[in-house]
Structure formats: C-alpha cells, structure tokens
C-alpha cells in the first residue's frame, strides 16, 4: 500500500527534549536529599554525644533532635520529589508508533 505524498510520520514525533523542567526538578530533589542526609547525620551525632562543628545549631540535645528531624524530612521529601520527576520522565508522552512506519514505502 502506497502512502500519500503529503504524509510524513516524522512530524508526529516530538523534536528534541522538552523535559528540562523535570530534569532540573530531579536534580534539585537529589541535592535536597543529600542535604537531608547530612543534617540527619549531624543531628544523630549530636544525640550520640559527638556534636560536629555546625555552630550553635547543635549545642543541646533538643537542637540535635530538631536537626535530625529536619534532616529526615528533607531526605524523605527529596526522595519523593526525585521519584515523581523520574517517573514522569520515563512515561511515554508521544505517540506510540511502530519504527517500521518511519520507513518510506513506495
């Protein structure tokens, strides 16, 4: 079967990557998760009696618990946002055409 001359299957597929916002969001979420891990480690070290040199944040056990909680919340939020961004990046958003349709048929 011959295709009409005006049809071009390449026009149906998107050109280039339009997911730069999702990639930026995934990168920022990874940074957020990393900061969360570091804060959680600093808070845990304070609660165990070996406070790191973070300044006045870790002078007491209560401040260490707050830093630990904040670190865990940042870690959880960063992982959640990263997973959502990665899931949306992997989702097919274009037409699902067979690669054989891209060939010119005469």
Query: pLDDT, tens digit, for every residue of 8-59?
Result: 666 666 566 667 888 999 999 999 999 999 999 988 888 888 766 666 665 6
User: DSSP string spanning the chain?
Assistant: -PPPTT--GGGGSPPS---HHHHHHHHHHHHHHHHHHHHHHHHHHHHTT---S-SGGGSSHHHHHHHHHHHHHHHHHHHHHHHHHHHHHHS--S----GGGGS---
Which pTM does this prediction carry? 0.67
Query: pLDDT, tens digit, for every residue of 83-95?
Result: 999 988 887 665 5
| Average pLDDT for 71-98 | 84
The residue ranges of every structural domain in the chain are: 20-91
Q: State yes or no: pLDDT of 96 exceeds 70.
A: no
């Amino acid at each position: 079967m011959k295709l009409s001359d005006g049809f071009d299957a390449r026009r149906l597929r998107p050109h280039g990557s339009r997911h730069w916002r999702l990639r930026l969001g995934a990168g920022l979420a990874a940074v957020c998760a990393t900061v969360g891990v570091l804060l959680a480690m600093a808070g845990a070290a304070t609660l165990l009696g070996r406070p790191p040199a973070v300044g006045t944040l870790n002078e007491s056990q209560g401040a260490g618990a707050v830093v630990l909680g904040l670190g865990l919340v940042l870690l959880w939020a960063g992982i959640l946002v990263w997973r959502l961004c990665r899931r949306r990046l992997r989702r097919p958003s274009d037409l699902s055409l067979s690669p054989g349709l891209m060939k010119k048929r005469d």
